[in-house]
Structures are given as structure tokens and as C-alpha cells.
Homo-oligomer: A and B are copies of this chain.
Amino acid sequence: MKISLIGAGNVAWHLGLALENAGHSVVEVFSRDIKKAKYLTSFLYNAKPLNELDFSESDADLFILSVSDNAIPEVCSKLVLPENAILAHTSGTKSLNDLVELMELNHDLPVECAVFYPLMTFTMGVRLDIQTVPFCIESYNPAVREMLVKLAQQMSKTVYLVSSDERKVLHIGAVFACNFTNHLLGLSRHILDKEGLDFELLKPIIRETIRKGLGVEHPADVQTGPAVRGDTSTIKRHLGYLSADEDLYKVYKTLTQSIQEWHEE
């Protein structure tokens, strides 16, 4: 297949490389900033860098829209696609309907809209095994759906059909399990840094916590610590220590209460 990437950020970088590894050809890469487009094409066989959104002459079989959520409306308003183009966005939060409406509003020719969402945290230049990345596919057109499922299966072992409503819930789940979790690692490091303690000391227990939590039937089954033990004297000592920092105090208190409520039920 010939594929055009609209966007040249983290997701586009990983998808571009994975698509070419699977034998497809990325023909065009758009970015507002031509340098970014050129940077990504430098990793690809024969892709053309673009900083304009006129694809009317493109012969791509699929257009992958991989820009930030905030930029989607503006990009859609300027996007010129050939007739009956297939346009799939890679966002975890935008609904398929949003994309359909944006394209109907701004586009005279019919466009097949779809979602091609890799459920992963990507950083440009940090390689990862794309085979482990779950792809979430959505389209109202069964043929498009089937085509995207096949394409995803050529890169990944796990491909799911996921509705926009389900994708929203997955995203909320990922905010708790990934964004918030990463923030807790940062707070933990901050607590150790203040006392000159090496964060390396905590890394083995953090890795084991995740390994164990994801290996059991339910993470709640292996909850440990003062909150679930009802160890009020330790909790009080910890809150006393943290009281100098309003933010840490509040996070500790809220999560301790949440653990206790959860395990009371």
C-alpha cells in the first residue's frame, strides 16, 4: 500500500517506520514545519516531505492523520484529498463522528473516515516492539474496517475493533494507569532527591510492583502498604513528614483514602 502521513510527530515517526518494515510505502509526510517533515522522511525509503495540505494529486491508498488533538480541526479545514480517499486519525480521544463532521464541513468530495489508534506511549527515536502495541480500529465502512485491521495485523499481534465510546474509556483508564502513575514516579523521585537519596534504590521494587500487579487476576489483590493494612500510626507519621509540602500531602491523603474506601467494600 501507498500511505501518506499527515503529521510528523512521535506517532507518525513510529507508524512510518513500522509500515515500511511491514512492506508498505510511505509516499508523503506533511508537517507545518518542513524541517520536521524532512526529519521523518530521512528515516523512510522514498517519502516526499510536504508543508502544504493539498493532496489532490496524491496516489496514496490511505491518509493517516497523526497530529495533536488540538490541531485536528484546523488541519481538516485545510486538507484537500482526492475523491474517495480513506482518512484515519490516530487519536485516543477524538471520536469518529468528530472526524466525519469536520470532513463533511470542509470537503466537497466524499471521504471515508476511520480510526487507526495505536494504544501506546511513543517517543521519537526510542524504538519499541510494535508487535506488542494494541491497535484500535473503527470505521462505519466494513471494507475500510477490514483493510485497516489487516494493515494493523501486519505490524502488531493484537488488533481490536473499538468504538469511539470504548476508546474514550480506554483513554481514561490509561490516564490513571500511565499518566498518573508516571507522575507518582516523579513525586517519589522528588521525595528522595530532597534527602539526597539515590532513586536507583527504588527501581527494583517499582518494577516488581508492576510485574506483580499486571500478573495477578486484579491489581487490588496484591495491594500492600500502610493504607490497606490500616496502619494509622505510619500514615500519621508520613503525613506529618509531608505536611511541609501541600501538594504531596494532598496526593498522599487522597490516595490513602481511596485505597481504604476501595478495600472496605
Contact = CB atoms under 8 A, between A and B. Distances in A.
Interface of A: 69-70, 93, 119-121, 123, 126, 128, 132-134, 136, 158, 160, 165-166, 168-170, 172-189, 191-192, 194-195, 197, 199-210, 212-214, 218-220, 222-228, 231, 234, 237-238, 241-242, 247, 250-252, 254-255, 257-259, 261-262
A241 B205 contact: no
B209 A182 contact: yes
B121 A189 contact: no
Contacts of A258: 183, 187, 247, 250-251
Q: Which of A132, A178, A212, A247 gathers most chain B CB within 10 Å?
A: A178
Q: How many copies does the complex hold?
A: 2
A178 B166 contact: no
Contacts of A206: 177-178, 181, 210, 214
Contacts of A93: 234, 237
B254 A179 contact: no
15 contacts: A120-B208, A132-B204, A158-B201, A160-B201, A170-B201, A170-B202, A173-B191, A175-B238, A179-B223, A181-B209, A182-B224, A185-B219, A186-B223, A207-B214, A247-B257
B205 A120 contact: yes
Given A169-B197, A197-B173, A231-B69, A205 B178 contact: yes
A223 B261 CA distance: 28
A123 B205 contact: no
Contact of A183 (B69, B205, B262): B262
Q: Which of A120, A174, A252 gathers most chain B CB within 10 Å?
A: A174
A239 B141 CA distance: 32
